[in-house]
Structure formats: structure tokens, C-alpha cells
Amino acid sequence: MVKFNRFKLDNGLRVIVHEDNTTPMAVLNILYDVGARDEDPDQTGFAHLFEHLMFGGSVNIPHYDGPLQRVGGENNAFTSNDITNYYITLPSTNLETAFWLESDRMLSLAFSEKSLEVQRNVVIEEFKQRYLNQPYGDVWLRLRPLVYKNHPYQWATIGKTIKHIEDAKIEDVKAFFKKHYNPQNAIMVVGGNVKTEEVKRLAEKWFGPIPAGEKYNRNLPQEAPQQEERREIVTAKVPLNDVYIAFQMEGRMDKSYHIIELMSDILSRGNSSRLYKSLVKDKPLFSEVHAYITGSMDKGMFVLEGKPLEGISIEQAEASLWQELEKIKTEEVPADELTKVKNKTESTMVFSEMSLLDKAMNLANYELMGDAEELNHETEKFLAVTSAQIKEEANKLFRKENSSTLIYLAEGVEEPKEVVTD
Amino acid sequence: MSILNRKLAPGFNGVDNINLIRPQQTKLANGCNIFSFNSGDQDLVRIEWVFNNLRFNPKKPLLNVAVNTMLTEGTSKLNAAQIADKIDFYGAFLQVDYSYDNSQVTLYTLTKYLKTTLDVVKDVITDSIFPEKELETYVRNQQQKLQVSMQKNDFVARRVFNKALFGETIYGLGAEPEDFKSLTREDMLAHFKLMYQPSNCTIIIAGKADPEILEAVNQAFEGAWGDVTSPADISQPELEPSAERFFYSEKVDALQSAIRMGMPFITRTHPDFSALQVLNTALGGYFGSRLMANIREDKGYTYGIGSGMTAFKQTGAFFIASEVGADVCKLAVKEIEKEINLLKENLIDEKELSLVKNYMLGSLLGSLENVFSHADKFKNLYFANLDYDYYDRYTQTIKTITAPELQALANKYWNFADFYKVIVGKY
């Protein structure tokens, strides 16, 4: 149970306070309701590049990090296809510094051409490090456009290509800020050793004067139901073959979400899960196999992934995955097995309350979905799932015409040249 | 009402006191030490069983890690699937973790299910049998995983670096596919019996460690267990640093190069350790560090660069690591050299030094998030044979160290020309 208080400033900023006096620290988390899905198809990677620029100085504060480190604080941020989230942890006695820094960069940025130039390079190196210079690193660059033909989920947060990042202009970046970074599009959670009244005072003082800005009305092209089986085969310099099968599923707010999440747990959570037991241990056909969901706000993905063992053909590997899916489509999950994944979910919720930052991020996320209080009803929703519902959803999801299969065929790898010495 | 001056930073407070929770200790008659940290807020508990690794045998290099990893793969009573089923059914988490000095088993469980889950852990720790079929699966899957890891430049750089610093020892080990093939069930059983015995076991309980919980753990692990034949040999062979200091693996298609450089270093017990942590933080230990400010935030050569100090029982290491654009690798190395030399030739100015100090103290305070973190701090001390004075000295050093002292340390410990340097990619 995560208790909280909630209020809204006149400019539309939503504020949630979670008092937890077991820690000497405080967290200030700001979620901006903007992600890669809000980008122009010809300017992808922008939300993420922008996140980098948020550290390049704001209108009254030339350097963001230094003043925070000086008071014993740390910060970071991440961008997803749905949201951009910034967080600070610091000794609670220095909470006001966090308000000062975060309110100034919500008010107005002041990064320079130089800062844009450098962050473009940093993001290009990030692109290389995470997506291009790793075996299988480009999987999301390939799988997303296979699954999404219309919706902006067809590109990854890093962007479609390095070119889009290279081409980013300072005026585009400014326009992006104006459109998305204002109090109406943000949710702030303050947690830890704090008092609601004090948070109210600080919020009014530092965020109150920021103009409300224009409300961004999201109107994205939605993805039509998939009608045909899709497939892409890549021959790549990777050491092993790899199979991905992605299915479209409804978005995070749909009532099927909790059912499908438990279904992915039954298939793949832990060493007692079906795919691991059957395909890694008993048969064995794979060295590793996973199932997971993206949990996206709009239409999401249910993904199966596995690396077949040497000597196992792609056909055999795919067939064995489908066999497990057929099983969950035709037979109801036994009561014990369902209880198992429910128990695991329940204890995970309890353990997640050990982390202040997790609690703060969760509150922000549920508030974005409509109501932070729903965080405290999440476990009930999982406990209410029945075997019949799982079977029903499995039948809706696991159809060939709802599948996108991506195969990596290993063409061998580059062996490094022998060690050269100076 | 006064006008808000946004240019002026709010006042702030330094971190004065760090209050570390100290454990309750009990020692069982069989030699097993139990330390507990009780915080009754939530009905959950984390229990760790920590064992010193056995002496490294270069002919059978993987025994320590393989035995640890395979503890959950079968006992006389329960097969791997049954172990997984039981743990998962009760919503618990059972992990095995291998590190250079220790191997451990960790149980996270809601206290209402402790008795049942504890039975499984007891079985795993006292009666693992390493079934042949599971060993085959382990070997096969590890070999495949290794093939993938070997395509990652940073992974390869770390292996080459460790090998260069520590040679054929537990710290320098970089497994080859054939090493996995040499694993036998007999060797593993023998290793298991010697290592996983009460006198080589430390149990650390954190969470709702109330008397009832402690009693349950005591009961499960008191008396004789395992099949002890002789004391565990936990000594380690001497380190063998390489004479060669520069290692370059060229990959013609690389978009980025992994850089790792540094040297064997002092451990936590050395009087200079805390002061060097301040110096290291300034160089590359936080987001605003000199390496980040120059090589990422000014030059844009990399997504991330950092330096660190790792402390093991027998040795330590100082390292700088990054992945940089292949075309700027040489330039990046030059800039690293420049930053090292700047710290040797010039004093850190007062503004930067006070920032680093405040950051480190805040970071220490922030690292004490919950009762588990207090247990982690204790482990740092206990396994390095240090007392709680260590953290008093640590905070005292951070608060009082001066720029000339740091400059002297940079000169005493760092010589760029002598660093081991590893490049994987293009140079």
C-alpha cells in the first residue's frame, strides 16, 4: 500500500506527495507526457535527443548537474515510446534545490548550438553502442516496422536512423520544447522524508509562476488489426541464429492487460515457466527462450524470443514455440500454475515498495493512466484473472495472421586479429 | 511578496551523520556465523548464505562458478523443476551469485512462506547433486552465451584486462569454451562438499528478522550438515601480472572501440583507499567527472566514460573504461592521458573539490535506501576484515582531504605510461 496526497497547481501541474520517513532522502520525479510516439516520422529520435538537451542548462541556471551534485544529489532520465521521465534523489534537507532546478528547466531551456552539437554526437555514439555495434542490437529497428505499419511505435526511441539525429536543428528542438514541456503535460511526484504542506509551499513557489502553456492533444494514427502473417529474415554477423515472434495486443489501459501479463509469466517467468522447462530443459531445443510484453499505452507487442541450439533448424524452433502457444490456446491453465504466477506478482509488488524511487515512478505512471490510486489496486486485478480468460486471450493473440516473425541467420562472425603489441 | 530570484541557488545543508544499522550476531556451534538486521516495516525478508570460494585451480578453472550456478539444478530429494516450482509457487526468489571472492545463495521471501522456502534452500545448500543431464544443459547453454558475449567489445576488453592484471588466477579468469567441457560431476560434487560447509558459511538476514524468523534459520542450519571431510582451502595463488602492457584486438568492421586501462591497485584495508576514492570520483566516478565533462560532454566521443576502483580480498584494480567512436579512439586515449596528468600537475580547485565531497556524502546517504542496503554495507566491511570505523574514517576523509593531498596521491599512484591498456575495435 503506497499512501499519497495529491493536488494540482493553477497552471495544471499535477503533484503527488508520498511521505516516507524511514529514509533521510527525498525523490523528485517528473514525468512528461511525451515519448517517441509523438515525433514526426521524418524527425525521429527527437524525444530522446531532447532528454539529453534538458541537461544542457536552463534559462537561469547555466549548468544543471553541478548545483545538484554540490548538495549531494544525483539524477537521471529515460525516454520511452510513451513518456519521458526525469528524477532526482538527494538528502531531503536539500529538497528545495531539486525544485529550483526542475522548475527552471520547465520554464525555459537555454542550451547553445555547441550543446546541441555535442549531444547529437553523444546520441549518435549511444545509437552505435546500443543498436549497431552489438550482436542482435538492431532487433527493435527491424521488429517495430514489421509489427507497426501506421502507428509511430514503428520506430524505436533512439530513432529510425542516425541521419535524423544528425539533421536536428535548434529551431526544431525549441518547437518540441514549447509543444510538450509545460505544466499541463507533466506529473510531479515528491517522495521520501518530506511533508505535504512543505511540498505544496515549494511547488507553489517554484512551479506556480510557470505559464500553463498549450495543452497538447494527442491524435496519433492508430494501428489497424493485423490481417496477414509477416516475416523477415536477416543474415547477420551474429554467432547464433535467433527467432523473434511478435503479436499485436491491446494497449495498457485495456482490460485484457492483466490477463496477458500473467499469460507471459506462465510462459516465461522464472525457471518453473513453461518455455524454459519444455524448450531449454526437457527437449532441449533452445539455449534461451523468453516471452514478454511491451506494456505500451497504445497497441502493444507480445514478444517471444529464443536462440535455438546448434543443429536445431529454424523450422523446428518455430514449430516448438507455436506448439506451446497451441497448448495455452486449447487447454486451460491448471489452478496451481495460475496461483503460482499470481503469488509471484503479489510478492513482487510488496518487494517493489522497498524502493523509494520505484514507488515514485509507479505513482507518476498510474497518475498518467488516470489515477495514482490504481497502483494500490493493481494486485487485485491480477488476482481476479481466471484460466478461462487466459485461454480466451491466447486465442485472440496467437494467430499466424497476427504474427510478425523476425529471424536472424548467423553468417559467422569476425574473429579479432591477433593481439598486436606496441 | 518578494520576486523569486531563480538565478540564486537555495541554501543547502551538508550531510553530517551517517547512521549505519549494525547487525545482531549469533554463532552456531557448527561454526556458521549469522548476522541479522531487523526492520519490521514489511513482512518480507532477504537471507543470504555466503561462502568463500575455494583455491583456484588453473586446470579446473570453472569449478567455483559452475558449482554455484548449478546449486538450483537438483538435490537428492528435489529435481531442478521441483526446486523452481516450489520457490515460484510461494512467490519467492532464489538466486545464486558468483563473485571473485565469494559465492552466495540469496532467498527473498514473504515471511508467511519462510518455513517452506527455507526447506528448499537448506536442501540446495546441504545436498546438491549436480545431475549429469543438467550439467550437459549448463555447459551447452554457457558455451552459446559465451559465443554471444565474445562479440561484445566491452566484454572482450574486460577479459583481456583482467587476464593482464591478474594472470592465471581467479581474478584473471576468462573462460574458453573448452573449459566448460572439462567440468565433471565428480569434481563438482567434491568441490561442493568442501566449500559449502558450515564453518565456511556466513548467513546474513535483513528485513523482518524477528526472533521467530531467526529461530527458524537457526534450526534449519544448526548441527552438522553437508558431508565435511576437511576444512575448506580458501587461500588463493599469487597474482601474475603480465609483463606486456598494451593489448590491441583489431576488428575491422567496428563502429566503436572498447577502451579499458588501469592497473592492480590497493584494497579497502589500505589507509589511502578512501582518499583515492575522492580522487577517482573527481576523475571519472560521477556524471560531472572530468572524464565525462571532457570526453562526453565537450567532445562527444562517447555515450559514457568512467573510472572506478574495485576491491577484492587479495587485490584491487583501478580502471578507466569506455566505448568510443572507432574514428576517435586515439584521440580519446590522448584525452584520458591529459586528464590523468592534469590531476598530477595541478591542484583541484576548491569549488570542484567541495562539489565532489558533497556529492560523495550525499551518495553514501542515498545508498542506504532500506534495510537491505545496511546489510550490504556490512558485507563490504565483514568480508574485507574491516570494522564500522571504516565508514567513520571514510566520511572523515571525504570531509577533510585537501587538494595538495589529492595531487600527491595522483603522483604517488598514477603513471599513465605504466597503465595496462586494452583496445578492442579500431585504434
**Which CATH number does the domain housing residue B121 bear?**
3.30.830.10
Q: Is A350's CB within 8 Å of B43's CB?
A: yes
What pLDDT score was predicted for residue B157? 98
Split at pLDDT 50, 70, 90, the class of A421 is very low
Tell whether A118 lies on the interface with B, counting CB pairs under 8 A.
yes
Split at pLDDT 50, 70, 90, the class of A417 is low
Split at pLDDT 50, 70, 90, the class of B41 is confident
CA distances from A174 to A41, A108, A161 (A): 18, 10, 21
Question: Three cell numbers at B67?
Answer: 558449482
Question: Three cell numbers at A366?
Answer: 498510474
What pLDDT score was predicted for residue B14? 87
- Do B212 and B261 belong together in one domain? no
Of A132, A239, A277, the CB nearest to B81: A277
Split at pLDDT 50, 70, 90, the class of B15 is confident
Q: What is the mean pLDDT of chain B?
A: 95
- Cα distance between residue A71 and residue A50, in whole Å: 25
Residues of chain B contacting residue A209, judged by C-beta atoms under 8 Å apart:
4
Judge contact between A106 and A207, C-beta under 8 A. yes
Using CB atoms and an 8 Å cut-off, which of residues 93-132 of chain B contact chain A?
Answer: 93, 108-110
Measure B56 CA to nearest chain A CA, in Å.
Answer: 26
**B238 in any annotated domain:** no
- Do B255 and B357 belong together in one domain? yes
Q: Residue A341: enclosing H or E segment and its boundaries? A: helix A335-352
A77-121 pLDDT, tens digit per residue, is 999 999 999 999 999 999 999 999 999 999 998 878 888 999 999
- Do B256 and B195 belong together in one domain? no
- Cα distance between residue B159 and residue B202, in whole Å: 30
End residue of a domain, out of B221, B255, B290: B221
Judge contact between A191 and A356, C-beta under 8 A. yes
**B107 in any annotated domain:** yes
Helices (DSSP H) in A33-93: which residue ranges? 46-53, 65-70
- How do B201-207 and B93-98 pair as beta strands? unpaired
* Residue A231: strand pairing partners: A405
- Do B268 and B389 belong together in one domain? yes
Stretch B298-321: mean pLDDT: 96
Stretch B319-327: mean pLDDT: 97
Tell whether B13 lies on the interface with A, counting CB pairs under 8 A.
yes
- Do B174 and B250 belong together in one domain? no
**Could you tell me which of A84, A98, A94, A91 has the C-alpha nearest to residue A28?**
A98
- Do B68 and B162 belong together in one domain? yes
CA distances from A372 to A64, A357, A360 (A): 29, 15, 10
Q: Is B140's CB within 8 Å of A287's CB?
A: yes
Q: Is A417's CB within 8 Å of B253's CB?
A: no
Split at pLDDT 50, 70, 90, the class of A415 is low
What pLDDT score was predicted for residue B226? 78
What is the phi/psi pair of residue B173, to 5°? -65, 130
Domain count, chain B: 2
Stretch A216-229: mean pLDDT: 96
- Do B189 and B286 belong together in one domain? no
Residue A301 has pLDDT above 50, yes or no: yes
Q: Which residues contact B119 (CB under 8 A, 6 or more apart)?
A: B220
- Cα distance between residue B242 and residue B174, in whole Å: 15
What pLDDT score was predicted for residue B2? 64
Q: Is B91's CB within 8 Å of A346's CB?
A: yes
Judge contact between A16 and A188, C-beta under 8 A. yes
Measure B255 CA to nearest chain A CA, in Å.
Answer: 6
Helices (DSSP H) in B96-210: which residue ranges? 114-127, 132-149, 153-166, 177-181, 185-195
Question: Three cell numbers at A30?
Answer: 517528473
- Cα distance between residue B323 and residue B329, in whole Å: 9
**B240 in any annotated domain:** no
Of B90, B144, B255, the CB nearest to A133: B255
Measure A419 CA to nearest chain B CA, in Å.
Answer: 5
Stretch B256-282: mean pLDDT: 97
- Do B148 and B70 belong together in one domain? yes
Of A67, A132, A135, the CB nearest to B151: A135
Stretch A213-239: mean pLDDT: 95
Helices (DSSP H) in B128-168: which residue ranges? 132-149, 153-166
- Do B64 and B197 belong together in one domain? yes
- Do B288 and B182 belong together in one domain? no
Split at pLDDT 50, 70, 90, the class of A251 is very high
B79-121 pLDDT, tens digit per residue, is 999 999 999 999 999 999 999 999 999 999 999 999 999 999 9
**B199 in any annotated domain:** yes
Chain Cα centroid distance, residue B133: 31
Residue B242 has pLDDT above 60, yes or no: yes
Q: Is B370's CB within 8 Å of A22's CB?
A: yes
Residues of A14-42 as b/e, b for ≥16 C-beta within 10 angstroms?
Answer: bbbbbebeebbbbbbbbbbbbbbbbbeee
Percent of chain B whose pLDDT exceeds 70? 100
Q: Is B148's CB within 8 Å of A135's CB?
A: yes
Measure A49 CA to nearest chain B CA, in Å.
Answer: 12
CB atoms within 10 A of CB B252: 10
What pLDDT score was predicted for residue A115? 87
Closest-approach residue (CA) in chain A for B160: A419
Question: Three cell numbers at A168?
Answer: 536536428
B162-198 pLDDT, tens digit per residue, is 999 999 999 999 999 889 999 999 999 999 999 999 9
In the numeric block, the cell 505513482 is attached to A363
What is the phi/psi pair of residue A84, to 5°? -125, 130
Domain range for B38 is: 24-221
- Do B73 and B37 belong together in one domain? yes
Of A65, A239, A419, the CB nearest to B247: A419
What pLDDT score was predicted for residue A114? 87
- How do B256-265 and B102-110 pair as beta strands? unpaired
What pLDDT score was predicted for residue A12? 97
Q: Is B224 helix (H, G, I), strand (E, B) or coil?
A: coil
What pLDDT score was predicted for residue A413? 67
Q: What secondary structure does DSSP assign to A243-275, as a single string?
A: EEEEEEE--TTSTTHHHHHHHHHHHHSSTTSHH
What pLDDT score was predicted for residue A420? 44
In a mutagenesis test of the B interface, which of A1, A60, A271, A282 is the best target, namely the one with the most B β-carbons within 10 Å? A271
**Could you tell me which of B302, B306, B256 has the C-alpha nearest to residue B423?**
B256
Q: Is A26 helix (H, G, I), strand (E, B) or coil?
A: strand
Predicted complex: ipTM over 0.90: yes
What pLDDT score was predicted for residue A422? 39
Question: Three cell numbers at B371?
Answer: 534495510
Judge contact between A252 and A83, C-beta under 8 A. no
CA distances from B64 to B58, B98, B166, B184 (A): 12, 8, 17, 13
Q: Residue B361: enclosing H or E segment and its boundaries? A: helix B350-366
Q: Is A10 helix (H, G, I), strand (E, B) or coil?
A: coil
Tell whether B229 lies on the interface with A, counting CB pairs under 8 A.
no
- How do A25-32 and B93-98 pair as beta strands? unpaired
pTM of structure: 0.94
**B4 in any annotated domain:** no
The single-letter DSSP state of residue B151 is T
**B156 in any annotated domain:** yes
What pLDDT score was predicted for residue A414? 62
Measure A275 CA to nearest chain B CA, in Å.
Answer: 12
**B237 in any annotated domain:** no
Measure A179 CA to nearest chain B CA, in Å.
Answer: 23
A57-69 pLDDT, tens digit per residue, is 899 999 999 999 9
- Cα distance between residue B286 and residue B361, in whole Å: 13
- Cα distance between residue B80 and residue B71, in whole Å: 9
**B400 in any annotated domain:** yes
Stretch B401-407: mean pLDDT: 98
- Do B163 and B37 belong together in one domain? yes
